[in-house]
Amino acid sequence: MKIIVTGAYGQLGGELCRLLRGDALPLDIDSLDLADGPEVLKTLERLRPDAVINCAAYTQVDLAESNAEECRRVNATAVEYLATACGRLDCPLVQVSTDYVFGGEGVFGGEGVFGGVGLRRTPYKENDPPRPQSVYAKTKLEGEYAAAEYQKHLIVRTCGLYARPGDDRARNFVRTMLDLASQAKPLRVVDDQWFSPSYAPHVARAILFLVGYDRSSAAPWGIYHVVNGGATTCYNFAVEIFRQAGMDVSIEPITTADYKAAAPRPAYSVLCTSAYHNLGGPPMPHWKAALAEYIEAREV
């Protein structure tokens, strides 16, 4: 089974290519501009994949607020072209999306001001109505709609990805915290946004299960939430990172208002994974167990 992986240099795309080995057909911006419709079709017709997994995305959430056109080009227009090309070849399209499509029921605005109708405390299911607030989130939802126009689609929403420590190109929260801690400076980390940090190797193997790699068939078409278990805040995540790494770090909890990000952030964007787990796919461990796996790999 030959699978095109777009965004192959990213954390999730790189992990998928590692798992697929010779079955991966890796593509990134240096080999294909996904917002060039004719080139997308030409490339897919040349490679003739059995499936396409689109990990490419514009993920600079704050910068997207002032760069909406480019964000939409990557997160939505490109997906339209991929869906059209996959339709021509009759091959499945996996569109990787985000927990940020939710969050309208309690959201911090660009100035850190809390709004919405109250803070949700129940994990979102796939059929809960999305309420994206930022440009990034809105364009990712547009990408979902574009993928869903094609029958053979799998939309995988995930959250807070961090790659294995051996991925030298990876930029993520875990690596950033460990790097900052090594500088012996006090840290201030947001403590009022709830989410489920997710280890890229776990998410990647779940996606390969859903697309039917090494199995007889893919999962039923539709949307699936794939994240590690449990929920936490960035502050508590950082505390656990340092505890497991055996590091004594001075860390202070702050609010989103203190952080003053340009883009709105969901106060709660935890995802329910029951639909995925009911299919019998590889388990998604609790986020603390996933972090322990990362720390162990880091120390080898």
pLDDT by residue (tens digit) across 180-207?
Answer: 998 888 899 999 999 999 999 999 999 9
- pLDDT of 27 reads 98
- pLDDT of 114 reads 65
Mean pLDDT over 53-77 rounds to: 98
**Report field, pTM of the whole predicted structure over 0.75:** yes
What's the whole-number average pLDDT of the chain?
94
pLDDT at 52 over 90: yes
% of the chain surpassing 70 pLDDT: 95
pLDDT at 262 over 80: yes
pLDDT by residue (tens digit) across 228-245?
Answer: 999 999 999 999 999 999
CATH architecture of the domain 3-163+197-228+270-284 equals: 3-Layer(aba) Sandwich (3.40)
Mean pLDDT over 267-279 rounds to: 96
Dihedral of CA 174/180/185/186: which sign?
negative
**Whether 112 contacts 255, CB under 8 Å:** yes
Residue 120: which pLDDT band, with cuts at 50, 70 and 90? confident
Give the residue extent of every domain in the chain: 3-163+197-228+270-284
Residue 270: which pLDDT band, with cuts at 50, 70 and 90? very high
Residue 103: which pLDDT band, with cuts at 50, 70 and 90? confident
pLDDT at 60 over 90: yes
Mean pLDDT over 76-83 rounds to: 98
- pLDDT of 170 reads 84
Mean pLDDT over 255-274 rounds to: 93
Judge whether 199 counts as a catalytic residue: no
Mean pLDDT over 278-282 rounds to: 97
Top-confidence residue, 97 or 186: 97
pLDDT at 252 over 80: yes
Whole-angstrom Cα distance, residue 151 to residue 23?
24
Give me the catalytic one of 136, 150, 235, 294.
Answer: 136
- pLDDT of 112 reads 65
Mean pLDDT over 149-162 rounds to: 98
Whole-angstrom Cα distance, residue 53 to residue 181?
35
- pLDDT of 118 reads 64
pLDDT by residue (tens digit) across 11-39?
Answer: 999 999 999 999 999 999 999 999 999 99
